[in-house]
Amino acid sequence: MSHSFTIELEFVRLRTFTELDYEELYDLTRQTEITDLLPDWNMTEEQLEGFLGFVIGSYDTFDPSDVRILLAMEHKRDKRLIGWCGVFPNDLLDPIAREIAYAISKDYRNQGHITAAVRAMASFVFRHTQLEQIVAIVKPHNHASRRVVEKAGFRHLDLVRLSDQQDYDYFEYPKTGSDESEIDNRLLVRKARPEDAETLADIMKRTFNREINIWHQAEGPPDNNLCPPGYDSVEMHKYAIRESHYYVIVYERRTIGGICINSTGKRHARIDKLFIDPSYQGQGFGSKVVSLIEKAFATVEEWRLETSSKQVHNHRFYEKAGFVRTYESEREYGYEKIIPRVKDAIGIKHIEGEASRMENRNFSDTEFENCFMKGVDFYKINLEDGRYTNSNLQNSQFTDCNLSGSKFTNLNLTHVLLADLRLSGSEIGLVSLDGVYFHDTNLGADKKPILFERCDLSGSELRGCNLTNVNIRQCDLSGMKINDIPADELLSAYYKAVK
């Protein structure tokens, strides 16, 4: 069963050792940064050869009831053996105990690789064996190793003296993935705060990069479901925190993912994004989070979402959670979950009388004039060719709507937020992005300048524009031309002149 011992992470891969690993493994065991802490690894060539043969042979005799496993840690990009990670007995501990053991090359430390490997190894062992807990022992002065096990989720229990008469910090990592009550006790879903943006962006980047590596096989860029625009941008997450119902998923006081909900109405909502750190996937967290969110949005009767057509495991996950596939395209699947009306079930009073809730009516060609419609909620409404004139739409929200071909003219759009939109091929004129055409714009009476920040303007052209006092700072000017003169040549000539 050795073929099953492979754990894919973002930057490293845990896999079985082979005889081809001998040279690189020997080089690792010459690093004093490893052998000073793990003296048993300071083997002779003959000893190491015999040990490697023993490890390779152990894969075929692996026993889920008597866990003993050691995997090689390979750096994906560099294609190098950079360490190892495993779970097996330790003569210093109780015979039934299983210890997490690991080491990493001095050249790859402080990059998060070993923490990710330890967390993934623990998750893998719990899913595929009968082991109920994993322990770790760390010498008190080994602060780096202590940080690894703590960040991986191990809990410190005590300072103990073992049979070698040395003191060790003793850590424990219990199996919780299959015990829902344990998840309940340790899982928290809370509102995201601006300071969470960087952590959420990092986790989402690792999560989606892994999905891209697995599912994107064709040439060209991946579709927007596999690679959502701005998924790794801290600014995008700050925007979502500010404008959406964005929640942080916390397990044992550690952020392990996020879920973002779009909900502008009373009875309907959309799961915009749901992601779990790859090291915590497969343990029931996603299902539990969906259940918690449904309870938090108790008045919502219809949930929707979209996911990539390629992500088969996503399809199974949402269908298991009660979602039904409503449409399919080459790149995207749409899902919907209908929850029975909650009015009678939980006493919600936001629906009062039949007149306040109109369904399946045909109002085509109807004229509404001098109507008071504050707080009205339109959902799944066909308003094609509608006209809105001399009306107060202040503070309105348009979310997840098809407005292609629409015209917005002679409007007061001051302080309007336009974000998370696709404007491809659009024309914005007489006011103030791929294929967008800006023309006849001005800076208004206050002449407040425009700020472009973190924008991709590669290949753009500025013609006949007033660029007085424009300042370009900290930008990549490769290939940029001013009046057909390369900008790097202009800068070079300038710096020569001022010397």
Across the beta sheet with 155-161, what order do the strands follow?
7-8, 12-15, 69-75, 80-88, 99-104, 133-138, 167-174, 155-161
Residue 65 has pLDDT above 90, yes or no: no
- Between CA 312 and CA 132 the distance in angstroms is 30
- Between CA 287 and CA 306 the distance in angstroms is 17
Assign 486 a pLDDT band (cuts: 50, 70, 90). confident
- pTM score, two decimals? 0.51
Arithmetic mean of pLDDT, 492-498: 85
What is the C-alpha R_g of the chain?
29
- Contact indicator for 289, 312 with CB cutoff of 8 Å: no
The amino acid sitting at 394 is: Q
- Between CA 157 and CA 172 the distance in angstroms is 7
The amino acid sitting at 295 is: K
Name all domains of the chain by residue range, CATH numbers in brackets. Answer: 2-175 (3.40.630.30), 182-213+224-344 (3.40.630.30)
Residue 4 has pLDDT above 70, yes or no: no
Per-residue model confidence (pLDDT) at position 351: 37
169: its two tokens: 């910090």
Most confident of 192-201, 419-428, 452-461, 472-481: 192-201
* Average pLDDT, rounded, for the chain: 82
- Give the three-state DSSP class for 284: coil
- Between CA 348 and CA 443 the distance in angstroms is 49
Give 271's strand partners.
261
Residue 30 has pLDDT above 60, yes or no: yes
> What percent of the chain clears pLDDT 90, i.e. is strictly above it?
31
- For the stretch 391-441, pLDDT in tens is 677 777 777 777 777 776 666 767 767 766 666 666 666 555 667 676 777
Per-residue model confidence (pLDDT) at position 129: 83
**Considering only CA atoms, which of 206, 35, 196 is closest in space to residue 115?**
206
HSE-up of 76 (CA within 13 Å, CB side)? Answer: 12
Under 8 Å CB-to-CB from 440, ≥6 apart: which residues?
429, 430
**Considering only CA atoms, which of 226, 192, 418 is closest in space to residue 306?**
226
- Give the three-state DSSP class for 81: strand
- For the stretch 95-144, pLDDT in tens is 888 999 999 999 998 888 999 899 889 888 887 888 888 999 999 999 88
- For the stretch 349-359, pLDDT in tens is 343 344 456 66
- Between CA 33 and CA 226 the distance in angstroms is 40
Helix (H) or strand (E) holding 85: strand 80-88
Under 8 Å CB-to-CB from 435, ≥6 apart: which residues?
424, 425, 426
